[in-house]
Amino acid sequence: MAQIYPMWVDGKELEGEAELIPVEDPTTGEIFAHYLSSCHTASAAVVDRTVHLAHAAFKSGIWSKAPRHQRADVLDQCATLLTSALPDLIALEVRQTGRAIREMRAQVPSLVRWFKYYASLLRVEEQPVLPTAGKLHNFLQRAPLGVVAQITPFNHPLLIAVKKLAPALAAGNSVVVKPSELTPLTTLLLGKILKQAGVPDGVFNVLPGYGGTTGRELVQHPLVRKVDVTGGTTAGRAIGAIVGANLARYTAELGGKAPLIVFESADVQLAVNGIAFGSFVASGQTCIASTRIIVDNKALPGLLEKLKAKTESITRRMGAPTNPESMMGPLISERQLSKVEALVTEAVGSGKAKTVTGGSRMQGKSPLDGTDFSKGYYYPPTILIASDGGDILSTQIWREEAFGPVIVVVGFDTEEEAVRLANDSEFGLGAGIWTQDLAQAFRVSEQIDAGITWVNTHHRNDPSSPWGGAKSSSGVGSENGIEAYQAYTTTKSTIINYASTEQSLATDDWFQDGAGSVRYG
């Protein structure tokens, strides 16, 4: 029997009048769980009540006015308890996302770093004193915003939830999370963990559901003072329009179409390993996946040969996500699989591109472990190149975010051409450069329109390192680092006059008798 997961509101599991929504196992297409959602008729009432409870917790000061060292201690405890819960969280994350367990065993344990980083930041943050003229002491403090809403995607449910949660809680806000309707289960489990760690009731809440109902009601609520979303560009723009009408704060990490440039001086095998990781981890379902591979024509034939071999070795080792030897799992849903198939079909069918390897939905049994690919949403890692005389740059897959394991490989002759191809996109989130020429690495990285550029590596993600786009289609604002913490606060400037009474009487009487000089500012 499929397990039922309730909502998490005001420090407890909430059932009541709610709709049951199924959760599918992408490996088999089977329903293995349901969760209670505030969708349809109950949506507005449940969202409104949850936001008001979060607002009441904020106004009470139990968290928002708690000493920063107390909040830091709680965040550290969140990290400790999260570590203890890792085995169960990893297993559930694998089940709901279809991600290979070897990926989740690497990714999920890293989440504790975000709680620890923002706990440390609270303990060492300095408050500026400004050089205001006169006998004035002007100091700045950061105050929490209030109720903040967070919309998280299906591809990294726990990672992205924690990346947003940690700075929001560190700053003293109350949080309502709306996880993806496809993968909400591990986020729901965070409720009990955070409560046990000491997060007060009402400060952390989870309302799973669909974006058009639960999500809309949440982001348009007048008590929500900030919305932080990770998702597609279309949804990000729609949410931004709603948030703007309320004059609330907004952070959005949206789409990507990351270029990866390989120069002649690069070690070819290192570059191939980097391309495979940057392109095919999470089955290509990441916003910074290196999907446009731009290679010096002098290195292209040798690189393409090695990349084909590497890619086919991944395909041979695909199987059940629970198998530690499986290299890659399925896509998240039939809908996502159909989108990837359509983009590849358009490119190849137009005569502008041809496949080097992959290119069609997987069928039959896995040679690794006998997994029946036809039951799940498996798509092999795929390499596309231009057909003879074909203009692959005019295909949809060169332009659009596929969110699947498909890369386009093109050649270049000059550094200037490589930069032009890299910037030939409406997106500007991540980018990669492979070169052994240090001067070239600096020179090219300065010219690439991306918020994050990796040199001789890919997809490095640290709590201290800002993560955001350089073009509007990739979002606004940043995750990670001091910037994320500050984005969850408002600046409060306090100016204290410490002049003596006599001095103030002599200089601060604006409407004094006579025509003497007066101050301004």
Active-site positions read 253, 287
Is 386 strand, coil or helix? Answer: strand
The tokens describing 431, both together, are: 């980018």
Residue found by looking up tokens 């204290």 in the block: 496
Listed in sequence order, the residues at least 6 apart from 156 whose beta carbon sits closer than 8 Å to its beta carbon are 107, 282, 286
Residue found by looking up tokens 């005001």 in the block: 10
Helix (H) or strand (E) holding 444: helix 438-447
Q: How far apart are CA 277 and CA 100, in angstroms?
A: 13
Q: How far apart are CA 455 and CA 441, in angstroms?
A: 7
The tokens describing 434, both together, are: 């492979």
Residue found by looking up tokens 């289609």 in the block: 473
Which value, to the nearest 10 degrees, does the dihedral of the CA atoms of residues 183, 184, 188, 193 take?
40
Taken in order 357, 362, 366, 367, the sign of the CA dihedral is negative
The tokens describing 72, both together, are: 């830091």
The vertex-317 CA angle with 314 and 323, nearest 5°, equals 125
> Phi and psi at residue 4, in whole multiples of 5°?
-110, 130
The strand pair at 353-357 and 258-262 is best described as unpaired
Q: How far apart are CA 231 and CA 252, in angstroms?
A: 8
The vertex-422 CA angle with 331 and 352, nearest 5°, equals 65
Instruction: Tell me, letter by letter, the H, E, C secondary structure of 12-48.
Output: EEECCCCEEEEEECCCCCCEEEEEEECCHHHHHHHHH
